[in-house]
Structure 1
């Protein structure tokens, strides 16, 4: 069976979108199908798959019309995707599926309020949770200090002098398995100036990606907490795929802002 798809990205963190309003087409979205869609040589290619489905088809208790069913490139289910939800919102607006440019989206991490303003999309990512000190290790290198942060997904944030120190990141960095039994995203962060960071990320289930929205939020939160920066402050986050902005508001919420672009559409039988 052939079915429609779209391709989009947020700061080059790219996704395959599957329109499935009533959940009748892609309800059996198996890990094998996700891996086939995300395959960059034999499929469409992407860091993950976004199924666009009405919340009623997933969970009638969700107080939003639309639900973002997100899967990592390896087929595993993730709670949240900061870049993905911006691409998801872009599609809903461009397709005329929402009547306003400010609306909620259901996710496995709860409701997220989004706002579309031109090419930029802002997402209220909710309240971050700062955990304990931990460590990460790349290859056979020396373990280095990191901070546990949850921003919808679990993260381990570590600081380096140069993002190249992370190496090629072909394999997941070693982490404390007891602290992260379901895997973790690891951010390697450089301070570039006042309220200005750069980072690389290895995402669980996807490998190194060009950007990570929840990771940018985690990098900002960890750095602001360590440096004693007050709430109400905005940071610029440089990622290999572009630039994001994260504000930790005075009422303890994270606002993630960045571009979201749809680049292709078609049909596939993968």
Structure 2
């Protein structure tokens, strides 16, 4: 069976997009198919899959799968790419509402439309935990942005090592796994990060992770709400604002780079 796909990325966090409005093309979307599509040597290559569906209420629903085939509640870069697809291929105009397992997100276009802003909702801060890699451990802040994050401030991003394996974490705190962010300061309201995402490994960018990092940094700075934070990732830069009304707004690019058919 051949089926349509598109490829896109947000700050080089890349995704295969599968149009499947009523679920008849991919059925339950097996983990094996997701892994085949995301394979960077034998497949199309991606950090995850975005299946485009309609839910029972007729809303656009982002069925997000990690590269290992597991489901995830949210993907901040992915939802911007999803909105870009809806605008360019489904005739939607901004602002666009997208239902996800982490709640409904509203995406707006900035200026000439190159950058998109997504309202990620309210963060939930649970307290501190511990994460580690070989020869290093750090205190980390447990921040939920629709999916779980552990944010650790370190002295040098190289301290995180190659991140070929997932960092150590407390499975009692994160029974379903966690995205771990390693953060250094670059200047006032400016940080850089690396991330190991559950189910995908180290990625070039993580939108929800950047939001969690901005929240953790703002709390450490005791910054006023509405202060913009710049977050540098290996794949680009995102701007995050934690608003007075307890919303986290993330702004960054979303690009579609190609489309075709495959029988993977």
RMSD: 0.9
C-alpha contact 1:89 1:116 (8 A) present in aligned 2? no
Query: Residue 103 of structure 1: which of 86, 96, 103 is its match?
Result: 96
2:142 maps to 148
C-alpha contact 2:214 2:229 (8 A) present in aligned 1? yes
Query: Residue 65 of structure 2: which of 67, 71, 80 is its match?
Result: 71
- 1:179 pairs with 2:178: no
Distance 2:247 2:132 in 1: 30
C-alpha contact 2:138 2:154 (8 A) present in aligned 1? no
The CA deviation string for residues 13-70 of structure 1, in whole angstroms up to 9 with x for no partner, is: 00000011122112220111100000000100100000001123xxx3xxx6200000
Q: Tell me, what secondary structure is at the counterpart of 1:143? A: strand
Distance 1:73 1:97 in 2: 28
**What is the CA distance between 1:157 and its match in structure 2?**
0.3
**What is the CA distance between 1:219 and its match in structure 2?**
0.4
Distance 2:127 2:28 in 1: 38
Distance 1:193 1:14 in 2: 28
Structure 1: gaps of 5 or more residues: none
Q: How does 1:61-210 map to 2 (within 5 A)?
A: 65-98=59-92, 100-117=93-110, 118-139=113-134, 141-210=135-204
Distance 2:230 2:118 in 1: 15
**What is the CA distance between 1:164 and its match in structure 2?**
1.2
**What is the CA distance between 1:11 and its match in structure 2?**
0.2
Q: Tell me, what secondary structure is at the counterpart of 1:101? A: coil
**What is the CA distance between 1:112 and its match in structure 2?**
0.4
Q: How does 1:222-233 map to 2 (within 5 A)?
A: 222-233=216-227
Q: Tell me, what secondary structure is at the counterpart of 2:120? A: strand
Distance 2:232 2:131 in 1: 21
**What is the CA distance between 1:144 and its match in structure 2?**
1.1
**What is the CA distance between 1:97 and its match in structure 2?**
3.2
2:51 maps to 51
Structure 2: gaps of 5 or more residues: none
Distance 2:210 2:258 in 1: 26
TM-score normalised by L of structure 1: 0.95
- 1:252 pairs with 2:229: no
Q: How many residues align?
A: 262
Distance 1:115 1:204 in 2: 28
- 1:243 pairs with 2:221: no
Q: Which runs of 4+ in 1 moved over 4 A?
A: none
C-alpha contact 2:151 2:180 (8 A) present in aligned 1? yes
The CA deviation string for residues 210-262 of structure 1, in whole angstroms up to 9 with x for no partner, is: 00000000000011112211211110000000000100001010001100000
TM-score normalised by L of structure 2: 0.97
